Structure 1
């Protein structure tokens, strides 16, 4: 499915091999308060450059897939010097697109996730709860991107999986199995702006983020405060959201709330 919207901005499922994600797919975004404040004030979703992310394998093939590709070239009779030239050319192209590809990461779980609270700072964090329907309908326009691909991450053992992705875009929807705890759903966009260099491999001057204008009332179903923060934080967040006319439910997580020690359920 390709969904056209303002300024030729379009959404497209990255693959035809798997079903479209359902509209009621529950998605989470764990973030600290400064990032949430930026979302409130700019009303834009920022997608960082793939090459700036913690995982150095973003957009890269795994070692087993690389070995399989080199072996196939050898079996086809390609001499070693040509294999070297071909592979180095592909590595340069991969690096080029890592600097011109932007990613937004979400987590697909039906409920809160204690591990993700820990990872993303449950002593200072918030979580946005939404659905795929709400997320896609919140988007209005992009800046340096005009097409955003979406889909669930496929987790692979890069040391043993010899299947290579078909395109550079597909590679951003494969991650190492060590990250499977994230159960990630992501958005991926390539910078196609003619204002940015396509001949120079130096990323200096390229945007550090792609931004997508976002209707926050459409996006946010619930804003959930970390279970480890004081109750006063909820009132402060409520007041901040009111300043920006936020119309969504705000509550504090009860993840660590102890059960009743006696019961009146008779």
Structure 2
């Protein structure tokens, strides 16, 4: 089995409760739940009430207060974020007072927006076929409905085809590197073609303040695509483990009105967003002075620092 901890291809019997095996009747209230491992289940009201009771019991502290589970804010307001770029992009940012969001169509990683490895597509289709059947059976009122098997199969396959379509032309992404310090790997990545690279440094709290209402912001999760695939709403929040060094934080915009564009710009207050500007350790001395002049020309007073990686040892 390719997937170590999951069994996506079980083709569950959707006519009975996945816990007690009770046969459903037309119009009976049901719930769809996901287990930590293995596929989802349709369960009857009695089993769902029991699960809720057990869940509350597990979450109850010594003083009897129920605390929410699995709500972890991985990014703190003070978490440092870095955006590495070349001089042209930095000047464009200063000139327009904007952040640029790129279409993933322009990204080099062929797995950008991917669901998994092609060899595992059959398992993905099987899982979502069952998921589609469940959605159809329980729509629109979260009750179980008896649907003729042939019709259910046709409608479910049509639904899977629809949800598996890529929407890269409606997605726009702004990328940051989370780290307390500068990253040599990131400097090398952005200085491989031109030594005159720049990094701006901010924090998560300020980034969220500037664009939080216009974009979703979160950490990228690095996964092994040979052992699992990605859910339909998570494709742009996952990357291969080979990219783990990037420690990427993304701001993602669903630009339905911007369909087909290579990128979009969002207006921000750069004076509030940027804490410091850093110059690549590979850049010559005159470049640092040039960056200071350009910043002054556009009316900003950012503190410009040479990368600390340039400091000489003894």
Query: Under TM normalisation by the shorter chain, which class is it?
Result: 0.7 to 0.9
- Between the aligned partners of 2:214 and 2:292, the Cα distance in structure 1 is 34
Give the aligned partner of residue 254 of structure 2: 190
Give the Å deviation of 1:81: 8.2
Note the 1:64-143 alignment, pairs <5 A: 66-72=121-127, 73=129, 87-92=160-165, 94=166, 97-121=167-191, 123-139=195-211
Q: Which secondary structure does the structure 2 equivalent of 1:175 belong to?
A: strand
Give the aligned partner of residue 214 of structure 2: 147
Q: Which secondary structure does the structure 2 equivalent of 1:99 belong to?
A: helix
Q: Which secondary structure does the structure 2 equivalent of 1:39 belong to?
A: helix
Give the aligned partner of residue 283 of structure 2: 229
The structure where strand makes up a greater share of residues is: 1
Q: Which secondary structure does the structure 1 equivalent of 2:215 belong to?
A: strand
Bigger RCO of structures 1 and 2 (CA < 8 A, at least 6 apart): 1
Please tell me the root mean square deviation across aligned C-alpha atoms, in Å. 2.8
- Between the aligned partners of 2:301 and 2:284, the Cα distance in structure 1 is 23
Give the Å deviation of 1:249: 0.8
* CA shift digits 1:163-198 (9 cap, x unpaired): x32x43x221111111111010000111133xx6xx
Note the 1:170-209 alignment, pairs <5 A: 170-193=234-257, 206-209=260-263
Give the Å deviation of 1:258: 2.3
* CA shift digits 1:84-131 (9 cap, x unpaired): 755543333x2xx21101000100011000011001116120011111
Structure 1 contact 137–218 (Cα < 8 Å) conserved: no
Count of matched residue positions in the alignment of Structure 1 and Structure 2: 224
Structure 1 contact 220–248 (Cα < 8 Å) conserved: yes
Gaps of 5+ in 1: 1-15, 141-145, 197-202, 261-266
1:67–1:108 CA distance, 2 compared to 1 (3 A)? farther
Note the 1:26-41 alignment, pairs <5 A: 26-41=80-95
Structure 1 contact 30–128 (Cα < 8 Å) conserved: yes
Q: Which secondary structure does the structure 1 equivalent of 2:264 belong to?
A: strand
> Which 4+ stretches in 1 moved above 4 angstroms?
74-87
- Between the aligned partners of 1:51 and 1:154, the Cα distance in structure 2 is 20
- Between the aligned partners of 2:207 and 2:156, the Cα distance in structure 1 is 43
- Between the aligned partners of 1:136 and 1:19, the Cα distance in structure 2 is 13
Give the Å deviation of 1:134: 2.1
